[in-house]
Amino acid sequence: MRCEVVAVGSELLLGDVIDTNSAWLGQRLATAGIESYFRTIVGDNVERIVTALRSALERCDAVILCGGLGPTPDDVSRDAIAEVMGVPLRRDEELVERLRARFAERGREMAASNERQADVPVGATAIRQHQGTAPGLICPVGDKVVYAVPGVPHELEEMAERAVIPDLQRRAGPPSTIVSRALRTWGLAESALAERLAPRVEALDVAGNPTLAFLAGGVRGITVRVTARASTRAEAEKLLDAEEAALRRLLGPLVFGVDDQTMEDRVGALLEECGLSLGLAESMTGGLVASRVVEVEGSSRWFRGGVVSYDSQVKFGLLDVPEGPVVSEEAAAAMAQGACRVLEADVGLSVTGVAGPATQDGMPVGTAFFGLCLDGRTEVVHRQLPGDRSHIRQLAVISMLDLLRRRLLDRGSSG
Amino acid sequence: MRCEVVAVGSELLLGDVIDTNSAWLGQRLATAGIESYFRTIVGDNVERIVTALRSALERCDAVILCGGLGPTPDDVSRDAIAEVMGVPLRRDEELVERLRARFAERGREMAASNERQADVPVGATAIRQHQGTAPGLICPVGDKVVYAVPGVPHELEEMAERAVIPDLQRRAGPPSTIVSRALRTWGLAESALAERLAPRVEALDVAGNPTLAFLAGGVRGITVRVTARASTRAEAEKLLDAEEAALRRLLGPLVFGVDDQTMEDRVGALLEECGLSLGLAESMTGGLVASRVVEVEGSSRWFRGGVVSYDSQVKFGLLDVPEGPVVSEEAAAAMAQGACRVLEADVGLSVTGVAGPATQDGMPVGTAFFGLCLDGRTEVVHRQLPGDRSHIRQLAVISMLDLLRRRLLDRGSSG
């Protein structure tokens, strides 16, 4: 089974928007065991979309067309598909009603132009929208198929997972299953990690299944991806289990999560195991840690809240930080203790530092002090973080969460 | 003059790397006045690169092939171009010496495999490398041309600026410049916005220059992009100025920013104009508003900080919210007032609501109350937001910042 992605949008061609959808689909197709050899990006133009679709259909069995399903006149994906199928468009009145209902739910009236979104090429099947307003399409072209999905990333991802990938896999027939597992690490550079894992890399180079790949994710850490091929999912999972165990023996606490598990997911799970609540005091990260923590499902069970003490006066007044330089070990310690007290939390985690662009209190850009108040003890860790303002902030977030993770792990194993 | 980009790399197809090169080249071609209607991404495979090159050359005058010029066996762009030109590769001994010299400069010995990088299709011209080790190529194919450039972004950009774009412009003849401007809006759906702008869309459809396009950005609002073509940049800017004025007459305060300007940039500028400081109290957004606000340059001049009152007890204790349901108008009002008081801020902005997945206090998922305490008056706005947990949060962030922006605008025009 071969499937190509055709992404529609003049904004993609012009480089105003970076095409992240195709990368997401590329990964998703690969893990589903579906081959993809070409990808095309084309502007909002019927004739050119038709050209791109025809070229793609000559080379492969299925095409996923992303974008161009909106209500405005430059949304012409529906017209292009109808032309490739050699059929007219028909307005689906049931879809019109659904669209109208979605608008009504939000207390808005639907513009007449939105009715275009209910146009379906004759012979095609609509994919109902769960999010947004643009329905997707499954369009047979001879014994091949074109899927149309919206260009808005979260709508595309939801619809691809729910309708497109399963349909592709049904068509692909009996499986040789490819299953991947990602071990997410924090604390070593890619080259050091590769050295640590050299015994496994060599062993797997000989055996050929599973395979290992390193994926540098910047502020999300480095991922070691294990991919196994087998005739059933269960067999593939068995290969992955064995390899994961071997890798974990070499990596120890460097592994913080598996697959989509984030650092904050892991921290949340550990806090819940320990029965501890968390309070934050953030300066340089400006609420970024809190915003990540609340993304964890069930965080309300252990997250009390945070204080974003951006201005020094807020540190002195609300958190009882002693007057003096606020980018300092003393300030980080007082902030962590202040977070425990003000937010009535068991654990206080704090950060103060210099995100840049200018130095502060004589400290260079990238300086960070993390404070941790746990079991009545307060500890401060100093780090020098590289990069620009935004990168420094992101590094601070994952570094301080990693500090808390390691201390909770130590506590678990000693207690 | 039409030019297509063909990006080579299995890592791009698999989605392990996001193709930012093509976006950069897309922008660069547009500003150079060179049209680009298709883009192709293809893996490291001679046959498929040949297919992609032949298809592209059928449709246009020039192709920029990015990547696949390295020293390893999977770098096959040189072979593919030679096949399309119908010529053999010849090793350029002068280039071999240059490569060797570059390695020597870095105190390293050159591996034999690197000599492959000096292979040039007969009839092609090498573009000397200033950075990295991979020379580029200018390869005539009949009266058309294929440029090969390295895939490493900074090497590609340097070589494109120095050799490729100037060569393309020479071939294109007398210049025309294309300049774009983006008006960013919040508050109307795409279809309603298109209806509001219908007079301009019709007028421009007739005139053909400038052109209008709508870009749905989800939680970043909808962008109206104006693109003008003229023989000089100054003339193009003049066309854009006139069109921007016409659009603003129709859109009024719906426009919150231009080009890269974000909602928080605009809010920051208005606060600074008014000489007001801001304090936040966030519940459902969990620090997301604060983390966006601190990204604004110079935010320390007007941002005091925030309280992330995720747990109800933090609302009652720290912010003096009256005991009772915390997803309510009363709670939002008390939180905004609490933010002013606790953070000693002139303006208090708050949000409480239900991000999901479960309902809270009998209120449905998506409920949001925004509180605003400004000039001694407290106002609460209630909204019902669609989507999943993360989408609801993002919508809450921009909606509450938009509320503050509009009130500051009103204040400015009335005061």
- Residues on chain B touching A294 (C-beta within 8 angstroms): 285-287, 308, 310, 355, 393
Q: Please, what is the angle between helix B389-414 and helix B263-274, to 10°? A: 30
What is the fold of B177-257?
Alpha-Beta Plaits (3.30.70)
Which helix (H) or strand (E) segment is B179 a member of? strand B177-185
CB pairs under 8 A between A and B: 261
Strand ranges in B199-311 using DSSP code E only, listed in sequence order? 211-216, 222-230, 255-258, 278-282, 303-308
Q: Which residues have CB under 8 Å from B176's CB, separation 6+?
A: B33, B229, B230, B231
Q: Is the pLDDT of residue B287 over 50?
A: yes
- Rounded to the nearest angstrom, the minimum Cα separation between B180 and chain A is 10
What number does CATH give the domain A3-172? 3.40.980.10
**Of the partner residues A39, A44, A310, the one whose CB lies closest to the CB of residue B41:** A39
Q: What is the mean pLDDT of residues B102-131?
A: 85
DSSP-assigned beta bridge partners for residue B228:
B179
Q: What does the pLDDT read at residue B256?
A: 97
Query: Are A289 and B287 an interchain contact pair (Cβ–Cβ within 8 Å)?
Result: yes
Paired sense of beta strands B222-230 and B278-282, if any? unpaired
């490493």: which residue's tokens?
B152
For chain B, the domains span 3-172, 177-257, 263-414
User: Which of A18, A39, A113 is opposite residue B191, by nearest beta carbon?
Assistant: A113
- Cα dihedral A377/A382/A387/A389 (nearest 10): 60
Query: What b-and-e string marks burial along A264-287, b requiring 16 or more CB atoms within 10 Å of the CB?
Result: bbbbbbbbeebebbbbbbbbbbbb
Lowest mean pLDDT: which of A56-60, A385-389, B40-44, B120-124? A385-389
Instruction: Count other C-beta atoms under 10 Å from residue B377's C-beta.
Output: 8
Angstrom distance (rounded) from CA A47 to CA A323 = 68
Cα torsion angle, A98, A99, A105, A111, sign:
negative
* Residue A302 near residue A370, CB atoms below 8 Å: no
Which residues, listed in sequence order, are joined to residue B210 by a DSSP beta bridge? none
Cα B402 from Cα B415, distance rounded (Å): 20
- Give the pair of three-digit tokens for residue B321: 């919210």
CATH dotted code for A263-414: 3.90.950.20
- What does the DSSP 8-state code read for residue B360? B
- Distance from chain centroid for Cα A47: 34
Between residues 3 and 62 of chain A, which touch chain B (CB distance below 8 Å)?
Answer: 10-20, 22-28, 30, 36-45, 48, 51-52, 55, 59
Indicate the residue of A23, A26, A70 with minimum beta-carbon distance to B190.
A70
Q: Which residue in chain A has the smallest CA separation from B197? A: A72
Q: How far apart are CA B280 and CA B305, in angstroms?
A: 6
What band does B175 get if pLDDT is binned at 50, 70 and 90?
A: low
Q: What angle do CA B197, B202, B208 make, to 5 degrees?
A: 115
Q: For A215-274, how does the pLDDT look when each residue is reduced to its tens digit (9 = 90+)?
A: 766 788 888 888 888 888 899 999 999 999 999 999 999 999 999 899 999 999 999 999
What's the mean pLDDT in A300-323? 96
Three-state DSSP string of chain A: CEEEEEEECHHHHCCCCCCHHHHHHHHHHHHCCCECCEEEEECCCHHHHHHHHHHHHHHCCEEEEECCCCCCCCCCHHHHHHHHHCCCEEECHHHHHHHHHHHHHCCCCCCHHHHHHHEEECCCEEECCCCCCCCEEEEEECCEEEEEECCCHHHHHHHHHHHHHHHHHHHHCCCCEEEEEEEEECCCCHHHHHHHCHHHHHHHHHHCCCEEEEEECHHHCEEEEEEEEECCHHHHHHHHHHHHHHHHHHHHHHEEEECCCCHHHHHHHHHHHHCCCEEEEECCCCCHHHHHHCCCCCHHHCEEEEEECCCHHHHHHHHCCCCCCCCCHHHHHHHHHHHHHHHCCCEEEEEEECCCCCCECCECCCEEEEEEEECCEEEEEEEECCCCHHHHHHHHHHHHHHHHHHHHHHHHHHC
Q: Which of A88-97, B5-14, B127-136 has the lowest mean pLDDT?
A: B127-136
B31 pLDDT more than 80? no
User: What residue has token string 């854009």?
Assistant: B240
Residue A357: what are its φ and ψ, rounded to 5°?
-75, -20
Mean pLDDT over B192-211 rounds to 88
Stronger pLDDT, B207 or A49, i.e. the higher one: A49
Q: What is the DSSP string of B187-210?
A: SS-HHHHHHHTHHHHHHHHHH-SS
CB B136 within 8 A of CB B147: yes
**Which residues lie below 8 Å from residue A253, measured CB to CB, with a gap of 6+?**
A406, A409
Residues A86-128 pLDDT 10s:
999 999 999 999 888 888 887 778 888 889 999 999 999 999 8
Average pLDDT estimate for B27-50:
90
Q: Which residues of B touch A286 (CB under 8 A)?
A: 287, 290-291, 293-295
B51: which chain A residues are within 8 Å (Cβ-Cβ)? 38, 59
Q: Cβ of A320: how many Cβ atoms within 10 Å? A: 13
The pLDDT assigned to B213 comes to: 82
Q: Which residue has the higher pLDDT, A373 or A223?
A: A373
Q: Write the single-letter amino acid at A375.
A: D
Contact A19 B22 (CB under 8 A): yes
Interface mutation vs chain B, best among A36, A44, A72, most B CBs within 10 Å: A72
User: pLDDT category, A414, cuts 50, 70, 90?
Assistant: low
Token representation of residue B196: 């509001």
* B194 near A CB under 8 A: yes
Query: Comparing A133 with B243, which gets the higher pLDDT?
Result: B243
A65-69, A291-295, B99-103: the lowest-pLDDT one: B99-103
Does the distance separating the beta carbons of A55 and B344 come in below 8 Å? no
Q: What is the pLDDT, as a whole number, of residue A176?
A: 66
Q: Does A110 touch chain B (CB under 8 A)?
A: yes
What pLDDT is stored for residue A216 in this prediction?
67
**Quick check: B22 and B5 in contact, CB under 8 A?**
yes
> How far apart are alpha carbons B412 and B415 in whole angstroms?
5
What's the pLDDT band for A191 if we cut at 50, 70, 90? confident
pLDDT reported for residue A230 = 85
The pLDDT mean for chain A works out to: 91
Contact A286 B286 (CB under 8 A): no
Considering chain A, what percentage of its residues have pLDDT values greater than 90? 68
Helix axes B329-343, A312-319, angle to 10 degrees: 100
- Structure tokens, A354: 């210099």
Query: What's the rounded Cα separation, in Å, for the pair A304 and A306?
Result: 7
Report whether A171 contacts A229 (CB < 8 A).
no
At residue B414, does pLDDT exceed 60?
no
> pLDDT class for B415, splitting at 50, 70, 90?
very low
The domain made up of A177-258 has a fold known as Alpha-Beta Plaits (3.30.70)
Coil, helix or strand for B393? helix
Q: Are B66 and B23 in contact (CB under 8 A)?
A: no
Band (pLDDT 50/70/90 cuts) for residue A175 is low
Does B308 contact A313 at a Cβ distance shorter than 8 Å? Answer: no
Q: Do A11 and B213 touch (CB under 8 A)?
A: yes
Residues from chain B that touch A10, judged by Cβ atoms under 8 A, are 213
**Distance, CA of A163 to CA of A165 (rounded, Å):** 6
- Read off φ and ψ for residue B221, nearest 5 degrees: 85, -175
Interface test with A, best of B6, B34, B35, B41 (most A CBs within 10 A): B41
- CA pair distance B328, B320, nearest whole angstrom: 14
Cα–Cα separations (whole angstroms), residue A412 to A248, A275, A376? 18, 12, 16
Mean pLDDT, rounded, of chain B: 91
